[in-house]
A and B are shown apart, each in its own frame.
Chain A
Amino acid sequence: MDLLRHLRFFDAVAEHRHFGHAAAALGMTQPPVSQGVQRLEQELGQRLFFRDARGVRLTEAGGALLPVARRLLRDAEQLMTLAHRWRPSGQVRLGLADDLEDKIPALLTRLAERDVDCVPTVSGTVELVEGVREDELDIAVVRHPAVVDGLAAGPVHTLATYLAWDDDRPRDAELPPMREVPPVVVPPRRHHPAAHDQLIDALRRLGHSGAVIEAGTLIERQAWASAGHGVRLVLDDESGRPIPDLPPLRVRVVTPLPPDRRADVDHETLIRRLEAALS
């Protein structure tokens, strides 16, 4: 049995003195919680709760075991936090917005050339900002605009975008007018709601319908485009074609505020190198 999981049920029922309320607090239905407590009672060989007309009460054994169970849960949580945050000293935890797509390998190569030792996390902007706030990342390149209050945010970089059909259309073929362009395949809106909405408004401004397909991974976005059902916004003019007034990808570097930064990372130099690699 998953001891920690069942201890969590024990803890919740002891706190709420009610199986239904405990289940609600755990975000579950009541039957698995009741069964879980029964299994725990079998495993421990002790009755933990009385159930009678007055509700649910701890038994003497339950009362004696509860503090130990809670200590175990606290320790487990601490273990996860520590494991999550541990890193070799000096190694930078770098977050990169997944919209940077094909640019990411070159960006990391440029950082390596400048002696920046980093472990990359590629994700959506909302998650990256949360990661920097929660001390899971030391620095991140995120989409602008985003809510970045409480963090240090650098200047906005505008990276030109191009429209790419990933089918076998000849490169010199004439582009259809924007209103006839198929939906644009983009990362999911929840990655960066404000920036996503801004893109849709810009597409509509250009005469496009504003229809988009939200696809979670680069390979999925490429697949949609290859199937001829969507076009992609790309950052290189090799695979994409320039469209006047197509909005750029706007990104910026965010870090914790100086007092919240890791002592073993030289953030000033790091920021300078990342900004240089972006421009």
Chain B
Amino acid sequence: MVADFARDDRKVAMLFLLPGVGALLVTYLVPLAYSLGLSFSEWDIRKPGAQWVLSGFGNYTDLLTSEGFWRAGLRSLIFTLAALPIELVLGTMIALLLTSEMVSSKLSALTRVLMLVPLMLPPVVLGILWRLLLNVNYGPVNSLLGLVGLGPFTWAAAPDTAMATIVLVEVIANTSVVSMILIGGLLSLPPEPIRAAEVDGAGPWRILFEIKLPQLASYYLIIVLIRVMDLLKTFDFIYALTGGGPGDSTSMLNLFIYRVGQRFLDYPMASAASWVFLVALLPLSIWLLIKAVASSKDYLND
């Protein structure tokens, strides 16, 4: 941009950068290098005092031919692709509802504050809470659905329904993110085109689909990027709600890696799995980077 600040400042600048950059090196570069080395190694942890030795691509070939890994990856994908569209549609509907002129503004303001609650709930608490709510025998959800003749459902307790349950809880917890971003977007829309369309006789649906939503495209892009990254990373509430079970029906990549490493103590394999996961995330990350760097042009003196 502008060379507004003096060249002598560079020394101080380096000093300013030191703690942050140092911490990033220690907390990212060192463990990543370590895990990369480990992923190409063998380590017989049963022998006391044994160290790991480089051994080539063995872990990667084992991993990529193991059914468990692919199933976990597929589950991550299913979870993400199931939750995302539901959150987008529901989030849009809630945002429209809460900005609608037909709903009392006090009530919608109250709802907006209350929507913070599921969002701010610690993920572990979220998992525990839904464990209680969806308990097959003593939970209120099955009992209430029973009153209208539905169920009883097995929810998280059976492999067939566990994944759908996880998606349901995820949607309830995080649709607020989508709504809150969109509410901001909807309120910032210029009113003139909407008024003009109304005068010209356009119905509410046409105004929605041809005027409001297209103007929110950039908001949707950000939402999709953020949600996809977070959905793929989801660990905490699933750990507390199902622990990846029953069986391995909700064991997604994160839980798979955690289990391989912490339960079966196969550190090289877990490292290899993390690297495959990272590489799989790469296209998405690069896309996000391009978007973010493009939007940050004005933040930088570059």
> Does A pair with B?
no
Chain B contacts to A: CB under 8 angstroms: none
